[in-house]
Amino acid sequence: MATLLEVSGVSVTFDGFRAINNLSIAIGEPELRAVIGPNGAGKTTFMDIVTGKTRPDSGKVLWGERGIDLLKLSESQIAKAGIGRKFQKPTVFEEQSVRDNLAMALKNKRGPFSVLMWTAGAQDVARIEELAEEVGLSDRLDYRAGALSHGQKQWLEIGMLLAQDPRLLLVDEPAAGMTPAEREHTTDLLKRAAQSRAVMVIEHDMEFIRRLDCRVTVLHEGAVLAEGSLDHVTKNQQVIDVYLGR
Amino acid sequence: MLRLPRLAAFAACLIALACFGAAPAAAQTPPASDSITPLQDVLQQVQPQVANPSRATVPQVLGALLAADAPGTVAFLRAWADREVYERPADGLFFFARDTANRNLMLVDIDTGAELAEVTSREVNQIRPNAGVRREIGAALVSFELLNPDPARRLAALENIARSPDSEQIEPLQAAFAIEEDNRISERMERLLDLLNARFATDTATRVDAIDGLSGDISTEARRILNQILQTRAEFAPEIPEGTNVARVRTPGVDMDLAAAYATLADAGLAPPHLGRNAIRDALRNNVVDGTVGGVPVHLLDNDERRREAYEALEAAGMVAPLVTEEDMRAAVAEYVFFDAYLEPDPAVTTAARASLDSTRTAISLWQFLSISLDAVSLASIFFLAAIGLAITFGVMRVINMAHGEFIMMGAYTGYVVQTVIPNYTTSLVVALPLAFAVTFAAGVAMERLVIRHLYTRPLETLLATFGISIALQQLAKNIFGTQARPLTAPDWLAGAIQVNDLVSVASIRVAIFAMALGFLVLLLFILNRTRLGLEVRAVTQNPGMAASMGINPDRINMLTFGLGSGIAGVAGVAIGLVAQVTSEMGANYIVQSFMTVVVGGVGSVFGTLAGATLIGALQKGIEWFNPTNTLAAQTYMVLFIILFIQFRPKGIVALKGRAAGD
Amino acid sequence: MSMDIPRQSLAPTKPPRRGFLRDNPSVLWFMGLLGLFTLGVTVLSEGMGIGMVSTNLVKILGMTLCLCLIAIAMDVVWGYCGILSLGHFAFFGLGGYAIGMWLMYARTEIVIRDSLGRGTIPPTPAEISEGVAAQIFGVVGSSELPLIWTFAGSLPFQLSMVVLVPGLLALVFGWLAFRSRVTGVYLSILTQAMTLALALYLFQNDTGLRGNNGLSGLQNIPGALDVPQSVLSVWFFWASALALGLGYMLFAWVVSGKFGSVIRAIRDNEARVRFLGYNVEGYKLFVFTITAIISGIAGALYYPQAGIINPAEIAPIASIYLAVWVAIGGRGRLYGAVIGAASVSLLSSWLTGGGAPNIDLGLYRIVWTDWWLVLLGLGFVAVTLFFPKGIGGLFDYLVRKS
């Protein structure tokens, strides 16, 4: 398991408030990792930094075997380098069909001219159907994404993430607002995805994390508080203090 | 009490004037009696001298007039010099006269101004003093006024001299200066003396002294005189003549156009004229023989080479004047020296004038800079007034109000309507300001309730909907008030200007607008930072959801904010209407600038708007300074600058940072 | 999945692609209608048909087609890509200026050549160009040909300028604006500022485009000076119809495929598109530039029919009207833009041209020239508030019903 993403000594400040404080974290490939932490621990800001939305004040974010500096790339370049992100709120393009949503995410050339000339080949159509199958939306391919249920939107977004074929998936609270059955399906999806790539899941729900059965990183006040198996971290006194808000 | 030394001085002055000829002033005449015609009485005492004036006799008349000091003396002297006084031979009395319709003269009493009788021109003699006499009378007039006990009259006389300077004024001015006691007047006299001496004095030393006295003087009159001394004329000669005061020698082809230099020689008949393309063509046309010119068929003459060929053939045949080549021109020009010569022959004077003029250069640029800065401040306060209402609505509600300009217009028309009802400008202004606020406040609230409230989630559509309102309002104003510009007149106490010196003056109305902008700045800062309303507004600006959950009614805040912003636009409209024209399109003229002010300054900040207005005002005036003839260009460059500025600071000068700025 | 989805929202949006025209039946409809309209106007025209439609009306209709063309360009950039540009009429005007320079130069050259040619000696090229310059620029007190007119006599050059000038301006401006991530109302204001700067620039006498006199006499086409206006007007009508048809096809193709998908996604959530790996700025720039070029072409066809162009045409207000047309017609559908532009501009010229009868209410007489703008403004507010999908939205409603 080689290191895929290495974040070291990153800090970021908003108007005097330290959202991320000398954070160092690394993930290998393939690996499934859960990130937990109380509100304001800096989980989402961490993702913003990795995906290029927020520029840190200091620190380094290195990517891949060649150690590419992600801080020098734009959001779209980072995405093209192989990092996919699912947002906390499901963000699919509601005005467009599920098929179009997936087609947009497919790993094809992204330049305006190639996209202009693009027509769905047999291979693309097959891939879209395969993805739809995987996220359970086969019979919804030609429906407007806005017409899907909340859970289906979450899956569509995961499907789009998979369509991008990223090496690292950043998944922000995938189980929020899901029924127990849907949660189970989501767990399976993530575990399957993690067999061939790195997946980092941010979640509040301990039960969900237990089911993921993976290494857990606990963030607090913008830094890593503890890291290890779920059982290991839940026994950590500091973690207990933070969560119980002593 | 003050009069006596003055009279004595005047007498002395007259003595000086009369130094050529006749005896000093005539015997003292008794003071004027209580007669109703005091002036006529005095004149009758010196009747022959008035009727047939000569340089020798003028002082006697002046002495008599001075001693009597009858009212109307100055008017009489002026008329006398201007050949407007008539003598009636029958009784020797003097009259003024007016032409009547039937080419006769209407005699006018010199004391009372009453019309006396109509006579033919044969019945009276026009008194015609010669040039020398008239000069003396003129000088006497100057003294008469300069020595007047009334300081205001003396100052007025000085201004007259400044307006039409003349060498004759030097002596009386000097005499008056010697005894002037009022400091202010005496300073003015000293400077006028310098001005007159610089230009008219006969000896170099005096002139140079006077010119040196003018160094550092930034007034227009001083610079005008210095520039007059430094006037030049372009000349040429085989070599520079002895005694020429050369300003600059020009080398043709370097700092003077060769063709132009040659043309001056040709004009003077010193060289054959250089033939232009048209001249060559005409020459060819005059020599067409059987469809060819100089052996070249006419239809081939559509290029310069062929034309030259044909012309040279004609030249070889001796049929046309030879062509002047550039070589010829250079050779001809080399025979002469081209130079600019000062009209003033004395080099010492011109050198001093140049030095004196140069010494003011820095001071003048500084004053001009101050003047531009004041203009910029004035422009900035107008921009600030126009934009601050927009900044409030845009900042708090993230709503673009394209009808903001029409609220400005509404305020201006309110002012106009008030003025038609209340004729007193001061009162009407006092009424118009709060009324304009009320009218536009109401309009703003109505618009917010009816339209904008429904579009909060769709900012781009708010932009368009308010634009719809804007064109409707504009057209409505046109329908009601017509397309003509309506006057909005400032009261008299705001009509003047504060004059610092010849280079810097500020219109009072602009000062008032500046004060008003300052007032609004303070008022808004107070409302936003010190009142409950301000607190709630800030809360809604930062987080509407949170504010609502804390019991603040965002609807009410939005409505009030919008009303406030619109109301300020109305007041700004009255202010802008006082300096610009009130038309239905006046709002549209300010809207883009206002947007740019808000965007450049940074949204949602009063200080940001202030900074934006200052930057844009300063920029526009600054660019105008570099290219004063072209305000359109200035505006173009300003807009371009703003586009570039936004590239580098997309959030404006005063930018909110962090997550709050995310939206 | 056992999720219960409301029934009416289950309507499928679009089957997979089968072919451009079969996927977009509205394009065929549009082409058919445009063809019929063109044929009808030709048959009824003075120049080529039975003379029921006056030459002036043919010109107005041809100009309206050009306005429809720029309206669909506006629809693509705003309705599909979400950039409310208040600068596209500037590109339109630039296209008009580019072709106007050739029209004016070439025609003046013919006149000058003619008058100089009457002399015994034929004129030289320099004499002709000086004569042309004096003729064109006498009105702004100059007799020298400005640098930008160097190639004004060349039709191919000026035709390439019709495309290059708006295209390059859009490219440079768009690059600057999108690069610094100016979006939403800021971007609108920025484009408005650009338009204002351009208009102010052109208003100056010394910028070489005759200041506020503009370019005139554009209805006279060099090389066809002996063709009557009645026939010329039909030619231009055809050219406008052809341009609109081709433009419609082009844009329908652009917005129908994956590209359309991406730009609509950018309109709805540009940050998300970025995380999908698309270079959002590149797409915006592409759309901005291509629509600017089409706008320039529309302008180049419009102004020879209008006969005159001056900087007032470029003023920011014109671009806002363009947005109004598209909003009234219905954003996000090309035929909506055509409907909006055609109906509003024709209605406007009917009402302000004195075509409509004034209404006497006894107490007050409604003069349409005075009240049309009030009506338009309020009507526009109403459309924004109550029919955000515009007239085109009605079609959706009817289609869904049937």
Do residues B570 and B426 share a domain?
yes
Do residues B85 and B132 share a domain?
yes
What integer best gives the mean pLDDT of chain A?
Answer: 86
Q: Using the CB atoms, write b or e for A3-20: b if 16+ within 10 Å.
A: bbbbbeebbbbeeeeebb
* Mutant choice from C186, C201, C375, C384 vs B, greatest count of B C-beta within 10 A: C384
Look up the ipTM and state it: 0.87
Confidence band for C70, pLDDT divided at 50, 70 and 90: very high
Of C164, C106, C174, which is closest to residue C135 (Cα–Cα)?
C106
Residue of chain B whose Cα is closest to the Cα of A14: B658
CA C88 remoteness from chain centre: 8
Cβ distance of C5 and A95 shorter than 8 Å: no
Q: What are phi and psi of B249, to 5 degrees?
A: -100, 135
Do residues B441 and B549 share a domain?
yes
Q: Is C134 in CB contact (< 8 Å) with chain B?
A: no
Do residues B178 and B296 share a domain?
no
At B310-360, the pLDDT tens digits run 888 888 887 887 788 888 888 888 888 888 888 888 888 888 888 888 888
Answer positive or negative: Cα dihedral of C127, C128, C130, C135.
positive
Q: In A, which residues are within 8 Å of C271 by CB distance?
A: 53, 75
Do residues B224 and B116 share a domain?
no
Point out the least confidently predicted range of B10-14, B155-159, B496-500, B523-527.
B10-14
Local structure of B232: helix, strand or coil? strand
Nearest to B599 among C189, C200, C373 (CB): C189
Local structure of A144: helix, strand or coil? strand
Cβ distance of C261 and A104 shorter than 8 Å: yes
CA B423 remoteness from chain centre: 31
Of C15, C13, C17, which is closest to residue C257 (Cα–Cα)?
C17
**Helix or strand run (H / E) with residue B388:** helix B361-397
Do residues B128 and B217 share a domain?
no
Do residues B469 and B566 share a domain?
yes
Per DSSP, the residues of B471-520 read HHHHHHHHHHH-SSPBP-PPPGGGTSEEE-SSS-EEEHHHHHHHHHHHHH
Residue of chain C whose Cα is closest to the Cα of B652: C186
Residue A224 confidence (pLDDT):
87
Q: Is C20 in CB contact (< 8 Å) with chain B?
A: no
CA distance B387 to B594: 5
A123 contact partners, CB below 8 Å, separation of at least 6: none
Confidence band for B20, pLDDT divided at 50, 70 and 90: very low
B2 contact partners, CB below 8 Å, separation of at least 6: B149
Q: Are B477 and C400 in contact (CB under 8 A)?
A: no
CA distance C334 to B573: 41
Local structure of B235: helix, strand or coil? strand
Answer yes or no: is B331 within a domain.
no
Cβ distance of B657 and A15 shorter than 8 Å: yes
Confidence band for C170, pLDDT divided at 50, 70 and 90: very high
Cβ distance of B657 and A14 shorter than 8 Å: yes
Residue C39 confidence (pLDDT):
93
CA distance A62 to A65: 9
* Mutant choice from A113, A116, A127, A162 vs C, greatest count of C C-beta within 10 A: A116
Residue C73 confidence (pLDDT):
96
Answer yes or no: is B84 within a domain.
yes
Do residues B221 and B124 share a domain?
no
Number of domains in chain B: 4
Nearest to C381 among B463, B468, B644 (CB): B468
Alpha helices in B602-651 (DSSP H): 606-626, 631-648
Answer yes or no: is B353 within a domain.
no
Of C276, B427, C341, which is closest to residue A92 (Cα–Cα)?
C276
Question: What percent of chain B clears pLDDT 70, i.e. is strictly above it?
Answer: 93
Conformation bin of residue B366: beta by default, left when phi > 0, alpha when psi is -120 to 50: alpha
Alpha helices in C118-203 (DSSP H): 125-137, 155-179, 184-203
CA distance C304 to A208: 70
Q: How many CB atoms lie within 10 A of CB C2?
A: 6
Tokens of A132: 């739809």
Do residues B22 and B130 share a domain?
yes
Q: Is C8 in CB contact (< 8 Å) with chain A?
A: no
* Mutant choice from C78, C120, C169, C212 vs B, greatest count of B C-beta within 10 A: C120
Confidence band for B656, pLDDT divided at 50, 70 and 90: low
Q: Which of B584, B599, B616 is the last residue of a domain?
A: B584
Please give the model's pTM, rounded to 2 decimal places: 0.81
Residue of chain B whose Cα is closest to the Cα of A45: B659
Q: Are B109 and B37 in contact (CB under 8 A)?
A: yes
Answer positive or negative: Cα dihedral of A11, A13, A17, A19.
negative
Tokens of B361: 């250069």
At C8-66, the pLDDT tens digits run 344 444 444 556 777 778 888 899 999 999 999 999 988 888 888 889 899 999 999 99
Q: In C, which residues are within 8 Å of A77 by CB distance?
A: 279
Confidence band for B628, pLDDT divided at 50, 70 and 90: low
Residue B172 confidence (pLDDT):
80
CA distance B278 to C127: 9
What integer best gives the mean pLDDT of chain B?
Answer: 81
Q: Report CA-CA distances (Å) from C288 to C68, C87, C188.
A: 17, 10, 13
Q: What are phi and psi of A10, to 5 degrees?
A: -85, 135
Residue of chain A whose Cα is closest to the Cα of C256: A116
Residue B203 confidence (pLDDT):
83
Chains in contact with B, where contact means 3 or more Cβ–Cβ distances below 8 Å, are A, C
CA distance B396 to C342: 38
Tokens of B599: 């965007």
CA distance B67 to B172: 18
Answer yes or no: is B654 within a domain.
no
Q: Which of B551-560, C67-76, C104-113 has the highest mean pLDDT?
A: C67-76
Largest CA distance in chain C: 97
Instruction: Tell me how close the Cα of C190 comes to any Cα of chain A, in angstroms.
Output: 24
- Peptide bond before B129: cis, by omega within 30 degrees of 0? no
Q: What are phi and psi of B340, to 5 degrees?
A: -100, 130
Q: Using CB atoms and an 8 Å cut-off, which of residues 568-627 of chain B contact chain C?
A: 588, 592, 595-596, 599
- pLDDT exceeds 60 at position B635: yes
Point out the least confidently predicted range of A235-244, B520-529, B554-563.
A235-244
Tokens of B420: 């038609």
Q: Where are the domains of chain A?
A: 2-92+166-244
Residue of chain B whose Cα is closest to the Cα of A53: B662
CA distance C298 to B597: 33
Confidence band for B408, pLDDT divided at 50, 70 and 90: very high
Cβ distance of B648 and C121 shorter than 8 Å: no
Q: Report CA-CA distances (Å) from C115 to C112, C118, C119, C222.
A: 5, 6, 8, 16
At B138-176, the pLDDT tens digits run 777 777 777 777 788 788 888 878 777 777 778 788 888
Q: Is C35 in CB contact (< 8 Å) with chain A?
A: no
Confidence band for A244, pLDDT divided at 50, 70 and 90: low
At B60-97, the pLDDT tens digits run 887 888 777 777 787 888 788 888 888 888 888 888 88
What is the CATH T-level fold of the domain A2-92+166-244, as seen in this structure? Rossmann fold (3.40.50)
Instruction: Tell me how close the Cα of A168 comes to any Cα of chain C, in angstroms.
Output: 13
Q: Number of helices (H) and strands (E), helices first, in chain B?
A: 27, 12
Cβ distance of B660 and A15 shorter than 8 Å: yes
Query: Which of the 8 DSSP states describes residue B401?
Result: -
CA distance B192 to B162: 7
Q: In C, which residues are within 8 Å of B284 by CB distance?
A: 121
Answer positive or negative: Cα dihedral of C291, C293, C295, C298.
negative
Mean pLDDT across B352-379:
87
Q: Are C205 and C140 in contact (CB under 8 A)?
A: yes
Do residues B126 and B76 share a domain?
yes
Residue B505: CA count within 13 A, CB half-sphere: 10
Tokens of C227: 């063709």
Do residues B168 and B101 share a domain?
no
A66 contact partners, CB below 8 Å, separation of at least 6: none
Answer yes or no: is B312 within a domain.
yes
Residue C19 confidence (pLDDT):
65
Q: How many CB atoms lie within 10 A of CB B27?
A: 10
Confidence band for B558, pLDDT divided at 50, 70 and 90: confident
Answer positive or negative: Cα dihedral of B357, B363, B366, B372.
negative
Answer yes or no: is B632 within a domain.
no
Q: Are C298 and C73 in contact (CB under 8 A)?
A: yes
Point out the least confidently predicted range of A99-108, B124-133, B496-505, C5-14.
C5-14
Q: Domain of residue B189: give its range.
A: 155-229
What integer best gives the mean pLDDT of chain C?
Answer: 87
Q: In A, which residues are within 8 Å of C3 by CB distance?
A: 149, 151-152
Do residues B167 and B194 share a domain?
yes
Strands B246-250 and B115-119 come out as: unpaired
Q: How many CB atoms lie within 10 A of CB C389?
A: 18
Q: Are B638 and B617 in contact (CB under 8 A)?
A: no
Answer yes or no: is B367 within a domain.
no
